[in-house]
Amino acid sequence: MQTNANPKTAFRDGLFEGKVVLVSGAGTGLGKACAEQFARLGASLVICARDGERLQATARDLRELGAKVLARPMTIRDPEAVQALMDEAWREFGGIDVLVNNAGGQFASPALEIKPKGWLAVVDTNLNGTWYMMQAAAQRWQKHGQPGNIINVVAVIWRGLPQVAHTCAARAGVVFLSKSVAVEWAEHRIRVNCLAPGTIQTDAFNYYNEQGRASFQQANPMKHAGEIADISEGLTYLASDASKFVTGEVLTIDGGQQLWGDPWFDGRPTYFELDYEVSRRAG
């Protein structure tokens, strides 16, 4: 079987034996790889995404790795569908131990041109959808007196994200929502953290044009994109007891992008070419 699972993981076999991990957006990319990592380490999986075919393909791969799997096509933008998914997870597995909110995305656009429907689609997915999942899980953990662990996949927002202002706003919302409930929910033994990937080579790069994709390869001082395993290892750390004293934190895995780098999802506009670059090109 060809999978994204990382056979070189630093984590020990059986680490997640008896644990249940819910991963949203597990039909592709980072979500699929992270679900495979948890399966490899012994977890049972609940997975969701909109596209049922890709989701079932992931479910098959996870079962080949020995995991029990509940796979549900749904959108995290529908709070009732989220409630139904959580109810099913509790019915099937008696609960979940870890919630990985990985589902998300955006489209590149100058902020001046984003239409209300596009703005709402991105904010509804990345902020509202993530919140519905967080609250639905936390309500059940509280009701059953179970501890919980939430990891929200966000982005490197600290210097803004030009050409994807909608996602930057939504992810910033998730970061500070997470910090807020990390405090509120500590008394229920629920940890809440975020993981901010830099540019990580996945098929999703193909949603962006050639210039955008090229900029993702030079978006940090290491001057290359990260690998999926860089993220699945970080997620595993946050999901495990190795991070049991960590809550309200953002783990940034970005090759230094938050400090230096010039990523442009739609290519760098001429205005941002620096004078010395223009004169060098002119000879």
Ligand X SMILES: NC(=O)C1=CN([C@@H]2O[C@H](COP(=O)(O)OP(=O)(O)OC[C@H]3O[C@@H](n4cnc5c(N)ncnc54)[C@H](OP(=O)(O)O)[C@@H]3O)[C@@H](O)[C@H]2O)C=CC1
Rule CB under 6 A: which residues touch ligand LGGBLMCM?
Answer: 105-107, 109, 115, 117-118, 121-122, 125, 155-156, 161, 199, 204, 207, 216, 219, 263
64 CA to centre of own chain: 24
Identify what 25 binds: ligand X, ligand LGGBLMCM, none; CB under 5 to 8 Å per kind.
ligand X
Strand order, beta sheet including 148-153: 69-73, 44-49, 20-24, 98-101, 148-153, 190-197, 250-253
Return the residue nearest ligand LGGBLMCM (CB atom): 105
Identify what 122 binds: ligand LGGBLMCM, ligand X, none; CB under 5 to 8 Å per kind.
ligand LGGBLMCM
Compute the distance between CA of residue 85 and CA of residue 140 in angstroms, rounded to an integer.
Answer: 12
CB of 93 or CB of 207, closer to ligand LGGBLMCM? 207
Shortest distance (Å) from residue 79 CB to ligand X:
12
Compute the distance between CA of residue 146 and CA of residue 190 in angstroms, rounded to an integer.
Answer: 9
Shortest distance (Å) from residue 17 CB to ligand X:
26
CB of 49 or CB of 65, closer to ligand X? 49
- Residue showing tokens 């595993």: 236
The structure tokens listed for 246 are 């960590």
**Cβ distance 95 to 21 under 8 Å?**
no
CB of 122 or CB of 134, closer to ligand LGGBLMCM? 122
E-assigned strand segments in the chain: 20-24, 44-49, 69-73, 98-101, 148-153, 190-197, 250-253
- Rule CB under 6 A: which residues touch ligand X? 24-25, 27-31, 48-51, 54, 75-77, 102-105, 125, 129, 153, 155, 197, 199-200, 202, 204
Identify what 234 binds: ligand X, ligand LGGBLMCM, none; CB under 5 to 8 Å per kind.
none
Identify what 178 binds: ligand X, ligand LGGBLMCM, none; CB under 5 to 8 Å per kind.
none
Identify what 118 binds: ligand LGGBLMCM, ligand X, none; CB under 5 to 8 Å per kind.
ligand LGGBLMCM
Residue type, 218: Q
CB of 41 or CB of 164, closer to ligand X? 164
Compute the distance between CA of residue 135 and CA of residue 159 in angstroms, rounded to an integer.
Answer: 28
CB of 165 or CB of 283, closer to ligand X? 165
Q: Is 224 helix (H, G, I), strand (E, B) or coil?
A: coil
Compute the distance between CA of residue 8 and CA of residue 276 in angstroms, rounded to an integer.
Answer: 44
CB of 90 or CB of 265, closer to ligand LGGBLMCM? 265
The structure tokens listed for 196 are 């901010």
Angle between helices 116-123 and 165-184 (to 10 degrees): 30
Shortest distance (Å) from residue 156 CB to ligand LGGBLMCM:
6
CB of 115 or CB of 280, closer to ligand LGGBLMCM? 115
Residue type, 124: D
